[in-house]
Amino acid sequence: DSDSRRVDPGPTPPAGIDDALTALRQIVGETNVLTDPDAMAGFLTDWTGRYRGAADAVVRPRTTDEVSRVVAECARSGVRICVQGGNTGLVGGSVPPARDGSTNALIVLSTVRMTDIGDVDTVGRCVGAQAGATVGAIDDRAGRSGLAFGIDLASRASATAGGVVSTNAGGTRMIRRGNARSQILGIEAVLADGSVLRRWTSLVKDNVGYDLPSLLAGSEGTLAVITRVLFTLVAPPAVATVAVAAVERVENAVELLGAASSAGLTVEAAELMTEAGVALVADHGHRRPTTAPGPFYVLVELSGTGDIESATTELLGATDGVIDAVLEPAPARALWAGREGHTEAIARSSSTPVVKLDISVPIRALPEAFAELSRVGVDDRFPCRPILFGHIGDGNIHVNLLDVPPEHATEVTESVFGIVTANGGSISAEHGIGRAKVAWTHLGRDATDLATMRTIKAALDPRGLLNPGVLFG
């Protein structure tokens, strides 16, 4: 992936793009086709700064009809399309490839103007949102009707409906509500020829053939451009408590979750942190969660009936290895900020783009895998600082390797993946494959599985115009 990291101003635009741009301007309006390098810059670099690409234009449609006409024009003129939502993805999947010698032009299709959210159906508990509506805005809209969006993540202010669905994002509520795929009732998407696929029903049971919305979830923009999503909404718990405990061992955190369930409490979220991460976040302005430090910290949000605070205190008292703990009624934003501040604090503290590896292992293997992963890159060949955190209830560890000399990025990635596969885990728990992990999909899927995915891709996008270089090499 060293190529995709190089800043590429791009050679002379391929012949024929001018005609296509004229047509695109007629569809979305002059001001919504950006070609100025400064105006395009933010759309060509990912959040991590590790992936940069080149494009002939950034096109910002407003409606499904405009997306359909944009895609039809691209199909007619052979222009490739990189679909972009909030551009908060962490695997390079939402930015275009570097200019690769292809004679085909490429546009970024940004959903930034597609932010409409419909009325909440309080009986059917669902809401429709355009692809560019943010997770935060959808949750706010649901909240006004006493409901909540089942997806939440630290990037809620920027991450979009289309982005979380196309990457099948997980986030902090996954343990309780499932991933983005589980929140979908219906979907509207534009296929590679410009036709509109519409599966839009609030029916909970509807078994007429293939589940195409599920197929598009997690397809990372390679099969269609998602334009609208009908999301199921959830009833938030009446009362919940957030506790952060400093613990001696990862095992203690795992045991705490099991004990919470056995005690009849509902685990709404469960996050693991380390002293290295908490110290870094504290350096960036957040308060330390507990007075006494621990080598590890577990944040749990628990709900149930009765006196949740007393039940949580009792639970913490009965759990081995608890050094210190704090409790606050949900939403306990300050406690959550200490967890959610990790990504930014880590990004700001590394001298090189962080090698971010989002992996999962079976819960029973988690303590051992966590220990092994904490040692990756810690040797005398080159300096490298691992900081691990993650969604412990899902066996999902975010392995962040700081200060990795770029020429060693592949080496440390393979060390991590070696540990993951030896423990029966996945090389991508919730961030997807993007550009970052294309070379390693065989570690997660066998040959027949990969060939079937290629067959589906070839059937829906035979000319490879949608998100080239993402998911498939």
Contact residues toward ligand MLT (CB under 6 A) are 90, 154, 343, 358, 398
What's the closest the beta carbon of residue 431 comes to ligand MLT, in angstroms? 6
C-beta of 64 vs 167, nearer to ligand MLT: 167
> 276-283: long-range contacts (C-beta < 8 A, 24 or more apart)?
276/385, 276/387, 277/342, 277/345, 277/346, 277/387, 277/388, 277/389, 278/338, 280/342, 280/345, 280/346, 280/349, 280/387, 281/338, 281/341, 281/342, 281/345, 282/338, 283/345, 283/349
C-beta of 126 vs 397, nearer to ligand MLT: 397
C-beta of 56 vs 358, nearer to ligand MLT: 358
What's the closest the beta carbon of residue 289 comes to ligand MLT, in angstroms? 16
Q: Which amino acid is at 123?
A: V
C-beta of 159 vs 161, nearer to ligand MLT: 159
What's the closest the beta carbon of residue 377 comes to ligand MLT, in angstroms? 17
Q: Which amino acid is at 311?
A: A
35 Cβ partners below 8 Å, 6+ apart? 21, 56, 57, 58
**Tokens coding 225:** 């451009």
In angstroms and rounded to an integer, the radius of gyration of the C-alpha atoms of the chain is 23
Report the SS3 class of residue 347: helix
Specify the residue for token string 């300096």: 383
C-beta of 193 vs 344, nearer to ligand MLT: 344
What's the closest the beta carbon of residue 374 comes to ligand MLT, in angstroms? 16
What's the closest the beta carbon of residue 463 comes to ligand MLT, in angstroms? 33
C-beta of 228 vs 398, nearer to ligand MLT: 398
What's the closest the beta carbon of residue 437 comes to ligand MLT, in angstroms? 14
C-beta of 190 vs 417, nearer to ligand MLT: 417
Q: List residues bridging with 355 in a β-sheet.
A: 401
What's the closest the beta carbon of residue 154 comes to ligand MLT, in angstroms? 4
Phi, psi of 193 (to 5 degrees): -95, 0
C-beta of 90 vs 412, nearer to ligand MLT: 90
C-beta of 24 vs 389, nearer to ligand MLT: 389
What's the closest the beta carbon of residue 262 comes to ligand MLT, in angstroms? 26
C-beta of 99 vs 391, nearer to ligand MLT: 391
Strands (E), 235-380: 240-247, 266-274, 296-303, 322-329, 355-360
How many CB atoms are closer than 10 A to CB 18?
12
**Tokens coding 79:** 């222009």
What's the closest the beta carbon of residue 182 comes to ligand MLT, in angstroms? 17
308 Cα distance to chain centroid: 31
**H helices present in 85-219, as ranges:** 135-143, 161-166, 174-177, 212-216
Residue facing ligand MLT at closest CB distance: 343
Cα distance between the two ends of the chain: 11
Give the Å distances, CA to CA, from 357 to 328, 340, 412, 427, 462: 31, 17, 10, 8, 31
Report the SS3 class of residue 11: coil
What's the closest the beta carbon of residue 287 comes to ligand MLT, in angstroms? 18
C-beta of 228 vs 339, nearer to ligand MLT: 339
Q: List residues bridging with 45 in a β-sheet.
A: 52
What's the closest the beta carbon of residue 215 comes to ligand MLT, in angstroms? 23
